């Protein structure tokens, strides 16, 4: 594997996103911050899928949105095609959106219920002046075919479709502008099991066909291991481990990754019987007041005194296996 810096399509440096908690009605004052994303460093190589896993509230969705500047980051840089997205404003940023797109989790909430499928998929073509009128309609129908839907569906409304079909519409909308980079934010979590595989396969096909780069955000490690080239594990606003998907499974270094892997159920009673579970105690602490030092120390089976004081450095433990833990 080459040095990620050489072929990086997108590079994230020191990314932070804090949401202020305010009090007062007329004079609002900040009383605290939700540190949703607290200093991330990673790169995504051209053509790869980087999986981002973590449990609810770990900041993985916020990361996706902060990269695309849907939430403006509190600090940090996002270098994409030679530009720092964090510094772009207004029209410049809007034009940049042609190259980076997003697929959402909830196929019911992510499509405007009052627009037809044709208008939904045609909107990006229209706002970026890519196609108009008849040309736009043809392009929309072509996109519908690409995602495996009937091109005659253009005049229908989202509610006439099932969850899986809606998710295909969402994919077609993201593809319309021919982007290089797509953030897939839990694109299959809301779908039924038998439909999930359809969408996973579609995303994989499209990646090969259009040379796409994905940031694939999910809470389901099995799915992430299936689709990703490399995987980053997040806990409470920080990446704790980042490496190749097989290395992560075969040789997890961070105690949180180990616990997470052991908690994922495997659909095989024979395997399940023999498995040793690492059951973590307690719950994820609040991101408003994250624990001192290493954020995981309150639940960590290997906790040492050092962990309570010092935040472990996110470092390369060899062979591009990055981890943030004092015990490794």
Partner 1 sequence: MGTLLEVKDLRTEFHTQDGIVHAVNGVSFHVDEGETLGLVGESGCGKSVSMLSVMRLIPMPPGKIASGSVLFQGRDLVKVDDEEIRSVRGNKIAMVFQDPMTSLNPVLTINTQISEALELHLGMTKEQARKRAVELLKMVGIPEAEGRIDDYPHQFSGGMRQRVMIAMALSCSPQLLIADEPTTALDVTIQAQITDIVKRLKRELGMAIIWITHDLGVIAGLADRINVMYAGFVIESASNKELFANPLHPYTLGLLGSIPRLDEAHKAKLTPIEGLPPDLIEMPKGCPFHDRCAYRTDKCANENPALELGAVRHQVACWNWQDVQKLRATIKR
Partner 2 sequence: MTQTRSPAGIDLPHRARSPQRRVVGRLLRNPPALIGLGVVAAMILCAIFAPQLAPYAYDAQDLSIARQAPSPAHWFGTDDLGRDMLSRIIWGARSAVFVIVMVMIVNLGLGVPLGAAAGYFGGWVETVVMRAADILFAFPGLLFVFFIAATIKPAILTWAREAGWRDLANSGYLDYAVVIIALGVIGWAGLARMVRAQVLAVKEREYVIGAQAIGVPTWKIIARHILPNALAPVIVALSMGLGDIALSEGYLSFLGIGLQPPAPSWGNILSDNAGRYWRMFPQMIWMVWIPGLILAAVVFAFNFLGDGLNEALNPELVD
Binding-site ranges for partner 1 (CB under 8 A): 55-56, 162, 164-165, 192-198, 200-201, 204, 219, 221-223, 225-227, 245-246, 249, 259-273, 275, 277, 279-280, 282-284
Cβ nearer to partner 1, comparing 80 with 161: 161
User: From the list partner 2, partner 1, none, which binds 101 (C-beta under 5 to 8 Å, kind-based)?
Assistant: partner 2
Cβ nearer to partner 2, comparing 43 with 176: 176
114 lies in the site for partner 2, by CB under 8 A: yes
* C-beta separation of 226 from 245 below 8 A: no
**SS3 call for 56:** coil
Q: Which of 157, 189, 219, 220 binds partner 2 (CB under 8 A)?
A: 157
Give min distance, CB of 127 to partner 2, in A. 5
Q: Which of 94, 209, 308, 309 binds partner 2 (CB under 8 A)?
A: 94
The Cα–Cα gap between 112 and 93 comes to 23
Give min distance, CB of 182 to partner 2, in A. 10
170 lies in the site for partner 2, by CB under 8 A: yes
Tell me which residue has tokens 């095609």: 81
Cβ nearer to partner 1, comparing 182 with 227: 227
Count Cβ atoms below 10 Å from residue 149 Cβ, excluding itself.
Answer: 22
User: From the list partner 2, partner 1, none, which binds 110 (C-beta under 5 to 8 Å, kind-based)?
Assistant: partner 2
- How much helix, strand and coil, in percent to the nearest 5, is found in the chain? 35, 25, 40
* DSSP conformation letters of 94-123: HHHTTSEEEE-S-TTTSS-TTS-HHHHHHH
Count Cβ atoms below 10 Å from residue 195 Cβ, excluding itself.
Answer: 18
Residue 2 neighbours by CB under 8 Å, 6+ apart: 45
Q: Which of 18, 42, 80, 161 binds partner 2 (CB under 8 A)?
A: 161
Cβ nearer to partner 2, comparing 2 with 25: 25
**Which of the residues 9 through 48 are near partner 2 (CB under 8 A)?**
26
Give min distance, CB of 150 to partner 2, in A. 15
Buried b (16+ CB within 10 A) or exposed e, 246-266: ebbeeebbbbbbebbeeeeee
User: From the list partner 1, partner 2, none, which binds 283 (C-beta under 5 to 8 Å, kind-based)?
Assistant: partner 1
203 phi/psi in degrees, rounded to 5: -60, -40
124 lies in the site for partner 2, by CB under 8 A: yes
User: From the list partner 1, partner 2, none, which binds 73 (C-beta under 5 to 8 Å, kind-based)?
Assistant: none
Give min distance, CB of 288 to partner 2, in A. 20
Upper half-sphere CA count for residue 32 (Cβ side, 13 Å): 8
The Cα–Cα gap between 307 and 171 comes to 43
**Which of the residues 204 through 223 are near partner 2 (CB under 8 A)?**
none
Extract long-range pairs of 89-93: CB within 8 Å, 24+ residues apart.
Answer: 93/69
178 phi/psi in degrees, rounded to 5: 50, 60
Cβ nearer to partner 2, comparing 173 with 254: 173
**SS3 call for 321:** coil
Q: Which residues bind partner 2 (CB under 8 A)?
A: 26, 65, 68, 70, 94-98, 101-102, 104-106, 109-115, 123-124, 127-128, 157, 159-162, 170, 173, 177
């Amino acid at each position: 594997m080459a040095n990620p810096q050489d072929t990086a399509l997108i590079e994230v440096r020191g990314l932070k996103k804090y949401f202020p908690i305010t009090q007062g009605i007329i004079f609002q004052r900040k009383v605290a911050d939700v540190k949703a994303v607290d200093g991330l460093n990673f790169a995504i190589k051209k053509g790869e899928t980087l999986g981002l896993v973590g449990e609810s509230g770990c900041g993985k969705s916020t990361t996706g949105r902060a990269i695309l500047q849907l939430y403006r980051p509190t600090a940090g840089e996002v270098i994409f095609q030679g530009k720092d997205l964090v510094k772009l404003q207004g029209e410049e940023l809007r034009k940049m959106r042609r190259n980076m797109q997003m697929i959402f989790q909830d196929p019911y909430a992510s499509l405007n219920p009052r627009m037809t499928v044709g208008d939904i998929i045609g909107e990006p073509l229209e706002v970026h002046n890519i196609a108009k009128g008849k040309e736009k309609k043809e392009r929309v129908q072509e996109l519908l075919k690409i995602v495996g839907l009937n091109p005659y569906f253009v005049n229908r409304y989202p509610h006439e479709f099932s969850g899986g079909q809606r998710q295909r519409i969402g994919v077609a909308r993201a593809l319309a502008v021919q982007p290089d980079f797509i953030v897939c934010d839990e694109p299959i979590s809301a779908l039924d099991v038998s439909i999930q595989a359809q969408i996973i396969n579609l995303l994989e096909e499209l990646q090969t066909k259009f040379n796409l780069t994905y940031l694939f955000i999910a809470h389901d490690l099995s799915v992430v291991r299936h689709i990703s080239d490399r995987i980053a594990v997040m806990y409470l606003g920080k990446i704790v481990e980042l490496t190749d998907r097989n290395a992560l499974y075969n040789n997890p270094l961070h105690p949180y990754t180990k616990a997470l892997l052991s908690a994922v159920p495997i659909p095989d009673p024979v395997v399940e019987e023999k498995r040793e579970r690492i059951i973590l105690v307690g719950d994820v602490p609040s991101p408003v007041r994250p624990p001192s030092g290493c954020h995981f120390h309150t639940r960590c089976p290997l906790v040492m005194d050092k962990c309570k004081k010092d935040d472990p450095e996110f470092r390369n433990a060899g062979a591009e296996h990055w981890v943030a833990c004092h015990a490794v």
